[in-house]
Amino acid sequence: MSSIDRSQSVGGTRTYEVRTYGCQMNVHDSERLAGLLEDAGYVRAPEGADAADVVVFNTCAVRENADNKLYGNLGHLAPKKAARPGMQIAVGGCLAQKDRDTIVKKAPWVDVVFGTHNIGKLPVLLERARVQEEAQVEIAESLEAFPSTLPTRRESAYAAWVSISVGCNNTCTFCIVPALRGKEKDRRPGDILAEIETLVAEGVSEITLLGQNVNAYGSDIGDREAFSKLLRACGKIEGLERVRFTSPHPRDFTDDVIAAMAETPNVMPQLHMPLQSGSDTVLKAMRRSYRQERYLGIIEKVRAAIPHAAISTDIIVGFPGETDEDFEQTLHVVREARFAQAFTFQYSKRPGTPAAEMDGQIPKKVVQERYERLVALQEEISWEENKKQVGRTLELMVAEGEGRKDDSTHRLSGRAPDNRLVHFTKPDQEVRPGDVVTVEITYAAPHHLLAEGPVLDVRRTRAGDAWEKRTAEKAGKPAQPAGVLLGLPKIGVPEPLPVATSGCGCD
């Protein structure tokens, strides 16, 4: 059960309270914070309520003892929060802008710290804190026009997420996104491309375009082909080697997107497209507007245009009302589509979603049995598809932290263009995360590939330089000249694909 599931609420909806300190500017900012939270599906806590599900402190740094008062107030809330799983505390405003990490150090029960320039991020940061179960501290140095989900604190020197839209105009009945994040808001193409160019100048060579419904991009700015145009524009950015995106919706997967993928060399041959169910009846009940035939039709077109594309998906098993025949239809699509990988989920109720109230909830035992059959089938297909890679020569972008056994096996790990994980023999020559190696695949397992022979080629990249520079900075050593300037405070690496979720990035 998630923390939201356990929290107190009004009619199943999370409540909020904003406590404001300081000047008129803060009072006005608090109005905007309240509006943002209501847009995201929260309701104002009733007057006199003990504590809301989300308590936001909009702080002031000018008043005397402002920090002592803040920590005193936070201290009062600590036992309430401890007694109430799911409660969240956020601190914003001038004091947060000023004190940043200090707040979570002094009051580790705080969930979110945000600044004066990124108040639009509050709902996203609350959600991220809930999902990741750790405090989110995010302070922007200048005003953000777009309420981006993009962390300003980049996790990787060589790969980055770029948010292109937030929210979703669909109403899938199992998904809480429309309630939490509201209608789709598209970021302006020029802003997106400028951000990518900045990232590339800093050494990033792989980006993943992100949106709850990424390929619906354009509906908010009145251009139905905006997403394919964006992919093609990414293709013109010098130094950007790999472009991925997640998660697209089959409804919006138009032919111009397939053409742009096929014709733009740095858009990788990979597609993660949620199926959710292979049954038309269940898709209808899920309020997913495509049907089995349309889904398989897209797969067919993608395979015709991009023969080596690795296609992955999300599937929910045991949606309310799913019959044995419906489930057989899902297995049918899995056999036909031959996914490289599928993220499979057993349906569970999400309070606040229409599906939670539906008749025909499936007994756990039945769901489990179907789930096991689906996983067994998909494992078989994943393995067969991986075996087709044996003998191929592939360029890998060296990854950091993706091979748990690399040290003991004297290997390194990297991602193929289609995002398959490959473990390869460590060459004598130094290679760094972000560099590119060429290897021949010698062995396939269901979830990874091996290249057991020698590395055929090593290409040192600006991304590798960026990684080296950042690593040296972190270790406090003078960096080797890297040829790029970085201002990136934290090392680490995001997965090349976000963890797939039940829905389009919405779990």
Q: Indicate whether 175 belongs to the interface with ligand SF4 (CB under 6 A).
A: yes
- Pick one of 178, 182, 417, 433: the residue that binds ligand SF4 (CB under 6 A): 178
> Shortest gap between Cβ of 22 and ligand SF4 (angstroms)?
36
Q: Residues 112, 118, 119, CA angle at the centre, nearest 5°?
A: 70
Burial class (CB in 10 A: 0-12, 13-18, 19+), 320: buried
Region binding ligand SF4 by CB under 6 A among candidate stretches 6-14, 175-183, 264-272, 487-495: 175-183
What is the C-alpha end-to-end distance of the chain, expressed in Å? 12
In eight-state DSSP terms, residue 250 is G
Q: Indicate whether 249 belongs to the interface with ligand SF4 (CB under 6 A).
A: yes
> Shortest gap between Cβ of 314 and ligand SF4 (angstroms)?
9
Q: Indicate whether 172 belongs to the interface with ligand SF4 (CB under 6 A).
A: yes
Q: Indicate whether 212 belongs to the interface with ligand SF4 (CB under 6 A).
A: yes
> Shortest gap between Cβ of 179 and ligand SF4 (angstroms)?
9
Q: Indicate whether 170 belongs to the interface with ligand SF4 (CB under 6 A).
A: yes
Region binding ligand SF4 by CB under 6 A among candidate stretches 168-176, 387-395, 408-416, 461-469: 168-176
Q: Is there a contact between 280 and 329 (Cβ–Cβ < 8 Å)?
A: yes
> Shortest gap between Cβ of 445 and ligand SF4 (angstroms)?
31
Element (H, E) at 450: strand 449-451
Tokens 């990874």 sit at which residue? Answer: 448
Q: Report d(CA 97, CA 101) in Å as an integer.
A: 10
Site string for ligand SF4, 122-161 (x = CB under 6 A): ----------------------------------------
- Pick one of 45, 168, 482, 491: the residue that binds ligand SF4 (CB under 6 A): 168
Nearer to ligand SF4, 114 or 290 (CB): 290
Please give the single-letter amino acid code of residue 294.
Answer: R
Q: Indicate whether 506 belongs to the interface with ligand SF4 (CB under 6 A).
A: yes
DSSP calls for 111-124:
-EEE-SS-GGGHHH
Structure tokens at 94: 């001038």
Q: Is there a contact between 403 and 430 (Cβ–Cβ < 8 Å)?
A: no
Question: Residues touching ligand SF4: how many (CB under 6 A)?
Answer: 13
Q: Indicate whether 504 belongs to the interface with ligand SF4 (CB under 6 A).
A: yes
Nearer to ligand SF4, 93 or 178 (CB): 178
Nearer to ligand SF4, 209 or 394 (CB): 209
Nearer to ligand SF4, 122 or 275 (CB): 275
Q: Residues 172, 168, 117, CA angle at the centre, nearest 5°?
A: 145
In eight-state DSSP terms, residue 496 is S
> Shortest gap between Cβ of 57 and ligand SF4 (angstroms)?
30
> Which residues inside 385-444 make contact with ligand SF4, applying CB under 6 A?
none
Residue 118 φ then ψ, to 5°: -130, 40
CA 372 to chain centre: 26
Please give the single-letter amino acid code of residue 408.
Answer: S
Nearer to ligand SF4, 195 or 314 (CB): 314
Q: Report d(CA 299, CA 302) in Å as an integer.
A: 5
Nearer to ligand SF4, 52 or 172 (CB): 172
SS3 378: helix
Nearer to ligand SF4, 170 or 205 (CB): 170
Region binding ligand SF4 by CB under 6 A among candidate stretches 225-233, 315-323, 393-401, 499-507: 499-507
Q: Report d(CA 94, CA 22) in Å as an integer.
A: 9
Give Dmax over CA atoms of the chain in angstroms. Answer: 70
> Shortest gap between Cβ of 178 and ligand SF4 (angstroms)?
5
Nearer to ligand SF4, 214 or 399 (CB): 214
> Shortest gap between Cβ of 170 and ligand SF4 (angstroms)?
4
Q: Report d(CA 249, CA 443) in Å as an integer.
A: 33
- Pick one of 34, 87, 160, 177: the residue that binds ligand SF4 (CB under 6 A): 177
Name 449's Cβ contacts closer than 8 Å, sequence gap at least 6: 386, 389, 390, 416, 420, 421, 422, 423, 441, 443
Region binding ligand SF4 by CB under 6 A among candidate stretches 62-70, 99-107, 170-178, 374-382: 170-178
Name 55's Cβ contacts closer than 8 Å, sequence gap at least 6: 16, 17, 19, 77, 87, 88, 89, 90
- Pick one of 26, 213, 292, 413: the residue that binds ligand SF4 (CB under 6 A): 213
In eight-state DSSP terms, residue 355 is G
> Which residues inside 80-109 make contact with ligand SF4, applying CB under 6 A?
none
Residue ranges in contact with ligand SF4 by CB under 6 A: 168, 170-172, 175, 177-178, 212-213, 249, 503-504, 506
